[in-house]
Structure 1
Amino acid sequence: MKTNIKKMLIAMVAVSAFASCKKDDVGPANYGDYIVAVSPIASTGVADYLLTAASLEEGSVTTRGHGVEQDGTYRYYMTANNKFFSMLYGQGNPGAVTTYEITNGSLNKVSDFQSETVQAFAPVNDDILLMKMSRSITNKLSNFYIVNTNSLLITGEGAINNQTPSNNGELAHFTWIRQFGDKVFAPYMSIKGCCGAAFDTAYPDSSWIAVYSYPKMELEKVIKDDRTSYIGAYFLDGTAVDEKGDLYAFSPASATTGGKVSSKKPSAIVRINKGTTEYDLSYYLNFEELSGGYKMGNWLYVGQGNFLVLMTSTNATDKYNFGVVNVYNKSFKKVTGLPKSSDINSVTSTNYTKRNGVGYVGFTLKEGTSYVYKIDAATATATQGLRVEGGTITAIAKLN
């Protein structure tokens, strides 16, 4: 009897110790409408966790005991129709598309289906248009898929010949897609698609936008401009529509030939006015000249003509700098208050703004901590906000 009691006491102590250990491994919950995607600290092959937060300007979130683990290691995210879409990049294979809503500050999965791995996607009307682009000259067909954001079903699909827009022997590889009016605008890179240098081009000093009808995705025209190199970049959205309904587009001037940057045009911003399908030739902003030599690497439209711009430099230690460019008055300010470029390990490419002049960008520092920074376009100043513990920030979003 004494032996049994002793065994029971030992078991109770062990369970208590285990429970205490588990409790210590769980950080405080942070419920809210903001979604922060975090890649946990690990060596290789880790999946993102989706965390919620009540604010991006204060407090903390942690992956310890919290978050919704994603299926697969390469994820990209978007919001549409007040839903959050998490898409698996399947390395050429089909991948899961998981859809979430927020209920009482927590993520609630509402659908999970398979889709082809895609290279461009965007909301169009009540749909999401997905593009699986071919980059092989021996396969000129690219596929598109239409997902309705109400039924969360694939309601249409088809194929386009992506050698037709370029009409120069190369392939038109969409850098992104954008609804503009009732059309789909598809800026593209002209690429050789062969011979060990698929993304090289013989035409580094022009930009093009293919204009398609929707939902049939029939090519209507191609807009061409020789003032810049191509718009955006591989998997990089180079367009934005402002409150006036005008479309602005930027070129990073990163076209390559023989594996080396060959564009002689500067990194610049151009415009297409609302209701038109032509470049406004009266508008041109030379960003390199305005910023003192920087190129544009990515941007986030925050309203009133202001863009937060991630700037790139030929100096490898100076690659994480931000500026604010106003496309209306063509002014520029360098952002202050951010960590030193040499202290930054990574910066998020999927960021959040209410278009009220403020943007929220995720920074992960080399010493291991991650923060969301609030950047005010009016003053070009950054303020440290939400602390993210347990990993690298990969995306920031919000559902209402």
Structure 2
Amino acid sequence: MRKPSYFLSLLVLVSATFFTACSSSDDDASGDGGETPGVESKYIITATPNTAESVADYILTADGLTEGSISTKGNGIEQDGTYRYYVTSNNTFFSLLYGQGNPGAVTAYQLNGTGELARLTNFQSETVQAFAPVDDDILLVKISRNAESPIAYWYRLSTESLTFVDEGQINTQELADKENGEIAFFSWITQVGDKVYLPYFTIKACCNDNFGTEYPNEANIAVYSYPEMELETIIHDDRTSYIGRYFVNGLTVDENGDAYAFSSGIATNNGSVTTDKPSAITRIKKGTTEFDEYYFDLEEATGMYLTDHVYAGNGKFIGIMEAVKTSAYSSGKNFVVIDVYNKTTTPVTGLPETTDIEVVTNSNNYVSEDGSVVYIGITLTNKRSFVYSIDVASATATQGLEVEGGTITAISKLDPAE
């Protein structure tokens, strides 16, 4: 289903803002956009200043991640509004404002020929709960938590034109197909081959228990064609609870084209964890639309459950783990190297004690081009923030760049724009 009138009005607004932003010469972050010989790539680090009041993130740049320091004081580009989320695609850094139900700003940056961040566009968009690169687009989904209006809206944002090029709707109650009327809520978005896979869990969306479910022991993935976003099939498994978590990716594709599905095993009902399925990994082989026999019980292997993961390559992940299932939204402070090919886990050494860790950068960490090192942002209880380099082969971590005065929220990298 579509709403052309809404889409066209939004498209006109975005296009006008895009061309205005590109032609502006008085923006502090603007640049000429042309590449100058000798200009190096830059690491992009976002950080929330450590203050008593809620403040916006700053976008900082650094030449390296393994040593030195940068500061939020007097440096970087201040974002408009709090609760920012980030994604990098097509050598462009996107900053999205979570508008708490209201429209939020989307800002895009590239690295210009002088090694500075150039703001390409800044426009208003619907606040979304899932977004990810798909082909040359960013696919965004605004997801309902209201059983009386169970419609999710998807939008295709072109990373080339920086405009919305298509939109559509998904009836999440029809997708869930539950006798009690629960609706589907997508945990994230993953491109698998030329399809889009949307893992989802079903929620009651009522009774002051919006994320509670009476179906805690199942995993579901809706498979859509792309770019048409037509539903093709639903993949189902009852060996795990749902895949991913709220605002957390749970599905990753390896170099062979196989998709590995990570379940935290934290489905709740009325605030209590009710699933009897452990945190585990399952698999969908390339070219198929069903789970195969692969099963890796992470709780049995580690004594913990997964809260997030980062894919390094060659079947190896950095798993971020937590010991006790007290909440569906807790973030882990333990790190292990997970080898899904050999079904092994290795604790990462060299990190601070978990009691000294306050915040871990979960979904916006950086992996080196060869997959040998994963860079994780960690803020300690003393408010000092560092980038830690995790050597995947040896499962050892080394403290690197310090981000003074702020909590690290994302780590990325951009090359100079052509």
> TM-score, with normalisation over the residues of structure 2?
0.86
Instruction: Report SS of the residue matched to 1:289.
Output: helix
**Alpha-carbon separation, structure 2, partners of 1:160 and 1:148:** 20
Q: Which one is further off, 309-318 or 133-142?
A: 309-318
**Alpha-carbon separation, structure 1, partners of 2:106 and 2:152:** 20
Q: For residues 24-50 of structure 1, give each alpha carbon's deviation from its aligned partner in whole angstroms, at most 9, with x where no partner exists.
A: xxxxxxx95100000001112200000
Q: Which amino acid in structure 2 is aligned with residue 325 of structure 1?
A: I
Q: Which residue of 1 aligns with 2:291?
A: 279
1:388 to 400, 403, 411: 403
Q: Which amino acid in structure 1 is aligned with residue 337 of structure 2?
A: V
Q: Which residue of 2 aligns with 1:87?
A: 96
Aligned partners of 1:318 and 1:342 also within 8 Å? no
1:267-306 map, 5 Å: 267-280=279-292, 282-291=293-302, 293-306=303-316
Aligned partners of 1:310 and 1:321 also within 8 Å? yes
Q: Which amino acid in structure 2 is aligned with residue 92 of structure 1?
A: G
1:376 to 391, 397, 405: 391
Deviation at 1:315, TM superposition (A): 8.3
Higher relative contact order (CA closer than 8 Å, sequence separation 6+): 2
The answer to whether 1:254 aligns with 2:269 is no
Q: Which amino acid in structure 1 is aligned with residue 305 of structure 2?
A: K
Q: Which residue of 2 aligns with 1:45?
A: 54
Instruction: Report SS of the residue matched to 2:355.
Output: helix
Instruction: Report SS of the residue matched to 1:165.
Output: helix
Q: For residues 32-85 of structure 1, give each alpha carbon's deviation from its aligned partner in whole angstroms, at most 9, with x where no partner exists.
A: 510000000111220000000111111111112110000000100000111000
Q: Which amino acid in structure 1 is aligned with residue 386 of structure 2?
A: Y
Aligned partners of 1:32 and 1:106 also within 8 Å? no
Q: Which residue of 2 aligns with 1:181?
A: 193
Aligned partners of 1:32 and 1:53 also within 8 Å? no
Pairwise CA RMSD: 1.5
Q: Which one is further off, 302-311 or 215-224?
A: 215-224
Q: Which residue of 1 aligns with 2:277?
A: 265
The answer to whether 1:224 aligns with 2:251 is no
Instruction: Report SS of the residue matched to 2:245.
Output: coil
Aligned partners of 1:32 and 1:52 also within 8 Å? no
1:1-400 map, 5 Å: 33-103=42-112, 104-168=114-178, 169-280=181-292, 282-291=293-302, 293-314=303-324, 319-349=332-362, 350-354=364-368, 356-400=371-415
> TM-score, with normalisation over the residues of structure 1?
0.90
**Alpha-carbon separation, structure 2, partners of 1:346 and 1:386:** 16
Q: For residues 205-260 of structure 1, give each alpha carbon's deviation from its aligned partner in whole angstroms, at most 9, with x where no partner exists.
A: 00000011122212111100000000001000011111111111100001001210
**Alpha-carbon separation, structure 2, partners of 1:144 and 1:337:** 42
Q: Which amino acid in structure 2 is aligned with residue 54 of structure 1?
A: D
Q: Which amino acid in structure 1 is aligned with residue 104 of structure 2?
A: G
Q: Which one is further off, 151-160 or 349-358?
A: 349-358
5+ long unaligned stretches in structure 2? 1-39
Deviation at 1:318, TM superposition (A): 11
**4+ residue runs of structure 1 moved beyond 2 angstroms?**
315-319
Deviation at 1:126, TM superposition (A): 0.8
How many residues are aligned here? 368
Q: Percent sequence identity over matched residues? A: 55
Deviation at 1:319, TM superposition (A): 4.5
**Alpha-carbon separation, structure 2, partners of 1:357 and 1:77:** 23
